[in-house]
Amino acid sequence: MTALSSGTELPFPGLRSGVELVPTNDQPQTGKEYTSDQEVRWCPGCGDYAVLKAVQGFLPDLGLRRENIVFVSGIGCSSRFPYYLDTYGMHSIHGRAPSIATGIATAREDLSVWVVTGDGDALSIGGNHLIHALRRNVNMTILLFNNRIYGLTKGQYSPTSEPGKVTKSTPMGSVDHPFNPVSLALGAEASFVARTIDSDRKHLTSVLSAAAAHRGTSLVEIYQNCPIFNDGAFDAIKGQGEFKDGKADAIIPLVHGEQIRFGAPDEDGRGSKVVVRDHVTGGVKVALAADVEDSAVLVHDAHATDPSTAFAISRLTAADYLHQAPIGIFRAVERPTYDDQARAQVATAREDAPGEPTDKLAALIGSGDTWTVV
Amino acid sequence: MSSQVQKQVKQLDRVIIRFAGDSGDGMQLTGDRFTQESAVFGNDLVTLPNFPAEIRAPQGTLPGVSSFQVHFADHDILTAGDAPDVLVAMNPAALKANLPDLPRGASIIVDTHDFSARNLTKAGYDANPLDLLGDANDPLGDFAVHPVDLTGMTVAAVKEFGLSRKDAARAKNMFALGLLSWMYGRPTESTIAFLTKRFAKVPAIRDANITAFKAGWNFGETTETFAVSYEIKPAPVSAGTYRNISGNLALAYGLVAAGVQSGLPVFLGSYPITPASDILHELSKHKAFGVTTLQAEDEIAGVGAAIGASFAGHLGVTTTSGPGIALKSEAIGLAIMTELPLVVVDVQRGGPSTGLPTKTEQADLLQAMFGRNGEAPMPIVAPQSPGDCFDAALEAARIAVTYRTPVMLLSDGYLANGSEPWRIPEITDLPVIEPNFATERNHVVKPAATAEDGTVTEEERDFWPYLRDEETLARPWAVPGTPGLEHRIGGLEKGEGHGNISYDPANHDFMVRTRQAKVDRIAESLPPLTVDDPSGRAKVLVLGWGSTYGPIGAGVRRVRKAGYDVAQVHLRHLNPFPKDLGEILKRYDKVLVPEMNLGQLSMLLRAKYLVDAIGYNHVRGLPLKAAELAEAIGNLVAEAEGITVDLSTTNDPHTAEEISR
Ligand SMILES: Cc1ncc(C[n+]2csc(CCOP(=O)(O)OP(=O)(O)O)c2C)c(N)n1
Ligand code: SF4
Ligand SMILES: [Mg+2]
């Protein structure tokens, strides 16, 4: 799947970069510098390892000063992430990482702020903070490790588990309906939404760099395998196990400016399946390339101001065992960030009221109706 | 104008006025303006606003009544007064709701305009009490009642501005204010300036309000209804510049001052809640001081953002009331574990649950003390009066920054909305707070060495985020952006010093004790308590905390004025307690602890000092009443000294409150 790992423009031409105000490093860095002295304690084969490696490999390329990078996480297996990176970091409490990161990112324009969270952490207990961070568009990158299970608490179903899932807490099958994290984020006014896979390091890295380059909240859903409690949840996408031959049919690659095509290649080497507009529902649907005009094939536009098409594309994700899922950057649009605007208000107020803080304080507390007793 | 009436001027030492009306009648504004006038005049004063939780409860009903009580005097006073001398009632419901609080002989000025059959029924009156004035069965026979058509006169006075009848009638509160301002010789300039500014954009409303205000004054001057006006001389107070200030405003200013005095930008994360919202509103005006305010999606996000900002080197602050503290508990525990500075403001209101949102209470003390999982000690600071909220906020910030800990600042609804004259402090008298950020690696991995062949290897260091200051036990505060000090913190237990995750049993035991010891250490930085025991012979000590300072002080004065001995101590620090508290408690035979809860401080004192603390507890949503409290103190004095105590000489409301100190 070469199409997956290419095509992301970096940084988006003409747009403000997410790391624009973060001091850069003039010395070349290595992944080793970003590796802390703490022993990594995930289960063998856990997808989190691959993501950690990809991030440790990618951060040096960002070229930022290491001390200006902050990773904040909630609680969960994935949320141990910050301990393994030699940057500033906080392993906080369950679900609250986006709010803590909001404080950090708003307080300091010179920091590159990252959130690491799980599907339970972000979408269950922390759902409120997630949607409000997206709506505010605080300049940070959220890595949502979606293993469709509660790993740390040993295997209960999560808000992304498929209907009917049998777990310790749902012996007769879950009757909960899952969230589609991408649809949720798009509905929450997100300015950057992407989906990638733990095992595709190249794609993961390209999405991470696009996310870091985006100014505003970037949400990256990472399909992450939990071999202990939900092994094989992404086998269809990864073309593994019983789905050995199904990968091409499962992944719908999204590349900005290119037609959305997938499935087994036709005689021209192009995907035999395409995404076209569905004039009945107003959404999009999958069609056989052979059945439609080439001009009818949807060209992916991640920069479209209106999120409707991106949302429609996100609905092509199968809720069950993921026999089909769009992968890539769904949406990347510029929108003023909360933190930039909040800081601008403070800066304007300061310019309008110059002077020594102590003098200003004396004037403030001495304001209003006063009287003097001698 | 009719012929000038000869007016008599009477001297009074103090007066308690209550303005009462429908919540749409602007009684809070009226009371506030009267307060400002009195403050500018130089009286000492204390106020007590009291309003319904509903923004507009059904008009004309008893639940819709809003009131504002102001107590002003020619001497130092401590409370808003137990019972009003004068009631201004704008409708039947206001009359009915406030009548039970009036002492015999009180004056009532009542707007007759709204005494229609419909309004009387809404207020639960079968008959118009004003029709029975002077009758044998006059229900208001105990009072001096002045029925005046305030609304009618207002409408007539503002006719020229062409307002609708409804808008014209709305200026009636200013007419009432004008009348009362005349009656008590209040200066009027500040109110006229205020109205001019407030309604600058709507000239007709501005002019109508100013005209109504002046018309009220002139009515007082000319009418025969009021033959007497009163003079209450300014109170002798120490030299300085004063202003009137409410607790929430003083608290907000204190936080701004904490930012200036520490050099740290203040970051407030907050979610609106009565009675704390005004602090959010006020701080959001002060961006010029580098203050950032975030109205979060909920209380958890508010404290989360504040913790994040503190991690990033700002002074993180979160403001709320009791229900919000309940939501923030887990995050406060995180701040305790990560040992980051954080000021948590709880403006207490009646509980539990939603409770009495607009009423006061002190029932969050144990929540502040213990309301978290695990051994999670947290310093607690409480202001004792509206103006004192300023100093208390600075003190909370000092402790938070110096000891790297969240601090609970326990205000309450009475302090928040009540006001008093406040001597504006000199900036040079304010404490300076030192953030002392870490800049260097603090732990030697390998010392410098010179090998036998003379090669010198330099010292090798790394950064240990939990290597503590020996004196304060505070850990270093290393903020992102500082090279070489990259580190990770979090809610999992830390290994001593290096701060990496540790599940070691002995280490956990050590860390739990160390976090407690750090909070206990704060006592070393506290001044000795002030024991107010003028005769030195008192056997009874009255010990309080927070907003009960006023009523306790007034109660104690009454008892002393009647010739008995009683000592008073008031706590600013509830955790840790000051070092000398235990010894002071031992000096007295009886310790009375008045609180607006069911005995929370009593419980802490009993647990810590094995003292038989006797509770005096009311949870009525209102400040304690000084007269009732004096009785309780008197009874205890009688018991302790084996004497009979008679406080009756102090029962006249006009002499009851104490002489100036
Ligand atoms: C307030 C609170 N409630 C519950 C927990 C228990 N808990 C820890 S992690 C977790 C779920 C984690 O699932 P997820 O976010 O998907 O992370 P994963 O372990 O799968 O990476 C739960 C319920 C907790 N730590 N704190
Ligand atoms: S339980 Fe699952 S998610 Fe957690 S570390 Fe083990 S494999 Fe990874
Ligand atoms: Mg999970």
Which CATH number do you get for residue B583? Answer: 3.40.50.920
Separation CA B354–CA B324 (nearest Å): 10
pLDDT above 80: residue B656:
no
CA of B18 to the centre of ligand 1 (A): 55
Short-list B630, B621, B622, CA closest to B653: B630
Looking from the CA of B39 toward its CB, the CA atoms found within 13 Å total 26
Q: Which residues of A touch B291 (CB under 8 A)?
A: 346
CA of B363 to the centre of ligand 2 (A): 44
Residue A16's pLDDT band (cuts 50, 70, 90): confident
Could you tell me if B556 and B579 are in contact, meaning their C-beta atoms sit under 8 angstroms apart?
no
The interface predicted TM-score (ipTM) is 0.96
B487 contacts A371? CB cut-off 8 A: no
Q: Are residues B190 and B253 in the same domain?
A: no
Touching A: B residues 636-655, CB under 8 Å: none
Separation CA B514–CA B497 (nearest Å): 11
B424 contacts A107? CB cut-off 8 A: no
CA of A42 to the centre of ligand 3 (A): 13
Touching B: A residues 64-93, CB under 8 Å: 65-70, 72, 75, 82-83, 86-93
In DSSP notation, B3-49 reads PPPP-EEEE-SEEEEEEEEETTS-HHHHHHHHHHHHHHHT-EEEEEE
pLDDT above 90: residue A372:
no
Could you tell me if A249 and A288 are in contact, meaning their C-beta atoms sit under 8 angstroms apart?
no
| H-helix or E-strand spanning residue B67 | strand B65-73
- For B29, B567, B638, the CA distances from B535, given in Å and listed in that order, are 43, 9, 17
B198 at interface of A, judged by CB pairs closer than 8 A: no
In DSSP notation, A80-143 reads GGGGGBSSEEEE--TT-HHHHHHHHHHH-TT-EEEEEEEHHIIIIITHHHHHHHHHHT-SEEEE
A29 at interface of B, judged by CB pairs closer than 8 A: no
The number of the ligand nearest the C-alpha atom of A47 reads 2
Touching B: A residues 327-346, CB under 8 Å: 342-343, 345-346
- Looking at residues B319-333, what average pLDDT do you find? 98
Looking from the CA of A344 toward its CB, the CA atoms found within 13 Å total 6
Short-list A260, A307, A249, A255, CA closest to A285: A260
Nearest to B242 among A88, A105, A373 (CB): A373
A368 at interface of B, judged by CB pairs closer than 8 A: yes
What digits encode the pLDDT tens for the residues B55-105? 777 889 999 999 999 999 999 999 999 999 999 999 999 999 999 999 999
A65 contacts B483? CB cut-off 8 A: yes
Ligand 1 pocket at CB < 6 A: A 75-78, 94, 118-121, 145, 147, 149-153, 158
Could you tell me if A358 and A281 are in contact, meaning their C-beta atoms sit under 8 angstroms apart?
no
Separation CA B594–CA A345 (nearest Å): 46
Q: Are residues B290 and B364 in the same domain?
A: yes
Q: Does a structural domain hold residue B614?
A: yes
A369 at interface of B, judged by CB pairs closer than 8 A: yes
Short-list B453, B71, B44, B396, CA closest to B242: B44
Residue B167's domain is classified under what CATH number?
3.40.920.10
Residue A373's pLDDT band (cuts 50, 70, 90): confident
Q: Does a structural domain hold residue B602?
A: yes
B286 contacts A103? CB cut-off 8 A: no
Separation CA B235–CA B13 (nearest Å): 9
Report which protein residue has its CA nearest ligand 2's atom 2.
A226
B484 contacts A67? CB cut-off 8 A: yes
- Among chain A residues, CA nearest to B258: A361
How many CB atoms neighbour CB B278 within 10 A? 20
Looking from the CA of B529 toward its CB, the CA atoms found within 13 Å total 25
Helices A47-62, A201-213: axis angle to 10 degrees equals 50
Q: Ligand 2 within 6 A of A151 CB?
A: yes
Of B209, B231, B253, the residue at which a domain comes to its end is B231
Residue A344's pLDDT band (cuts 50, 70, 90): very high
Nearest to B311 among A87, A104, A367 (CB): A104
Q: Which residue has the tokens 């007539």?
A: B156
- Looking at residues B410-423, what average pLDDT do you find? 96
Q: Are residues B218 and B293 in the same domain?
A: no
Of B231, B266, B291, the residue at which a domain comes to its end is B231
Q: Are residues B115 and B202 in the same domain?
A: yes
Q: Are residues B218 and B326 in the same domain?
A: no
Touching A: B residues 331-350, CB under 8 Å: 331, 333-334, 338
**Which stretches does DSSP call E strand in chain A?**
69-73, 88-91, 112-118, 140-146, 192-197, 217-223, 251-254, 261-265, 271-277, 284-288, 325-332, 370-373
Separation CA B228–CA B7 (nearest Å): 6
Q: Are residues B29 and B67 in the same domain?
A: yes
Q: Does a structural domain hold residue B487?
A: no
Q: Ligand 2 within 6 A of A60 CB?
A: no
Q: Does a structural domain hold residue B527?
A: no
Helices B299-311, A97-107: axis angle to 10 degrees equals 50
Q: Are residues B340 and B390 in the same domain?
A: yes
Separation CA B15–CA B19 (nearest Å): 13
Separation CA B235–CA A18 (nearest Å): 60
Q: Ligand 2 within 6 A of A118 CB?
A: no
What digits encode the pLDDT tens for the residues B167-220? 999 999 999 999 999 999 999 999 999 999 999 999 999 999 999 999 999 999
**Strands laid side by side in the B65-73 sheet:** B44-50, B65-73, B14-22, B86-89, B107-111, B144-148
SS3 of residue B197 by DSSP: helix
The number of the ligand nearest the C-alpha atom of A118 reads 1
Q: Are residues B204 and B307 in the same domain?
A: no
B481 at interface of A, judged by CB pairs closer than 8 A: yes
Q: Are residues B202 and B327 in the same domain?
A: no
- Looking at residues A261-281, what average pLDDT do you find? 94
Residue B166's pLDDT band (cuts 50, 70, 90): very high
Q: Does a structural domain hold residue B485?
A: no
Report which protein residue has its CA nearest ligand 1's atom 7.
A153
Q: Which residues of A touch B335 (CB under 8 A)?
A: none
In DSSP notation, B479-545 reads -TT-TT---EEESSPBPTBT--B---HHHHHHHHHHHHHHHHHGGGGSPPPP-B-TTS--SEEEEEE
CA of B304 to the centre of ligand 1 (A): 17
- Strands B590-595 and B613-617, bridge-based pairing: parallel
Number of domains chain B is built from: 3
What sign has the CA pseudo-torsion A220, A221, A225, A229? Answer: positive
Cα B159 to its chain centre, rounded Å, is 41
**Which stretches does DSSP call E strand in B209-359?**
228-231, 240-246, 266-270, 292-295, 315-320, 342-348
The one-letter code for the residue type at B104 is R
Q: Are residues B136 and B281 in the same domain?
A: no
Helices A97-107, A338-352: axis angle to 10 degrees equals 40
- Cβ partners under 8 Å of residue A113, min gap 6: A70, A72, A101, A104, A105, A139, A140, A141
Strand partners, B15: B72
Q: Which of B273-277, B454-458, B589-593 has the lowest mean pLDDT?
A: B454-458
Q: What is the largest CA-CA distance in chain B?
A: 116
How many CB atoms neighbour CB A26 within 10 A? 6
Cα B439 to its chain centre, rounded Å, is 39
Encode burial over A352-369: b for 16+ CB neighbours within 10 A, e otherwise. eeeeebeebbbebbeeeb
Please tell me the predicted confidence (pLDDT) of residue B612. 97
CA of A320 to the centre of ligand 3 (A): 16
Strand partners, B356: B350
A101 at interface of B, judged by CB pairs closer than 8 A: yes
CA of A84 to the centre of ligand 2 (A): 15
> For residue A84, what are its two tokens?
């393994």
Report which protein residue has its CA nearest ligand 1's atom 6.
A153
Q: Does a structural domain hold residue B339?
A: yes
Q: Does a structural domain hold residue B460?
A: no
- Strands B240-246 and B228-231, bridge-based pairing: unpaired
pLDDT above 70: residue B565:
yes
- Strands B144-148 and B107-111, bridge-based pairing: parallel
Could you tell me if B549 and B385 are in contact, meaning their C-beta atoms sit under 8 angstroms apart?
yes
Residue B654's pLDDT band (cuts 50, 70, 90): very low
- Helix, strand, coil percentages for chain A (3-state, nearest 5): 35, 20, 45
- Cβ partners under 8 Å of residue A220, min gap 6: A141, A142, A143, A144, A194, A195, A196, A207, A208, A211
Q: Are residues B21 and B160 in the same domain?
A: yes
The number of the ligand nearest the C-alpha atom of A45 reads 2
Which of A102, A130, A134, A356 is the best substitution to test chain B (most B C-beta atoms within 10 A)? Answer: A102
Please tell me the predicted confidence (pLDDT) of residue B363. 98
What digits encode the pLDDT tens for the residues B361-380? 999 999 999 999 999 999 99
In DSSP notation, A208-253 reads HHHHHHBSSEEEEEEE---TTTSTTTTHHHHT-GGGTT-HHHHEEE
Helices B172-183, B27-41: axis angle to 10 degrees equals 30
B330 at interface of A, judged by CB pairs closer than 8 A: yes
Angle at A169 between CA A164 and CA A175, to 5 degrees: 30
Separation CA B76–CA B78 (nearest Å): 7
What digits encode the pLDDT tens for the residues A111-147? 999 999 999 999 999 999 999 999 999 999 999 999 9
Query: A292 to chain B, minimum CA–CA distance in Å?
Result: 47
Of B404, B429, B454, the residue at which a domain comes to its end is B429
Q: Are residues B192 and B215 in the same domain?
A: yes
Looking from the CA of A194 toward its CB, the CA atoms found within 13 Å total 34
pLDDT above 80: residue A53:
yes
pLDDT above 70: residue B3:
no
- Cβ partners under 8 Å of residue B374, min gap 6: B333, B512
CATH topology of domain A31-255+317-348: Rossmann fold (3.40.50)
Report which protein residue has its CA nearest ligand 1's atom 1.
A94
Q: Which of A246-260, A326-340, B528-542 has the lowest mean pLDDT?
A: A246-260
Structural domain of B546: 540-641
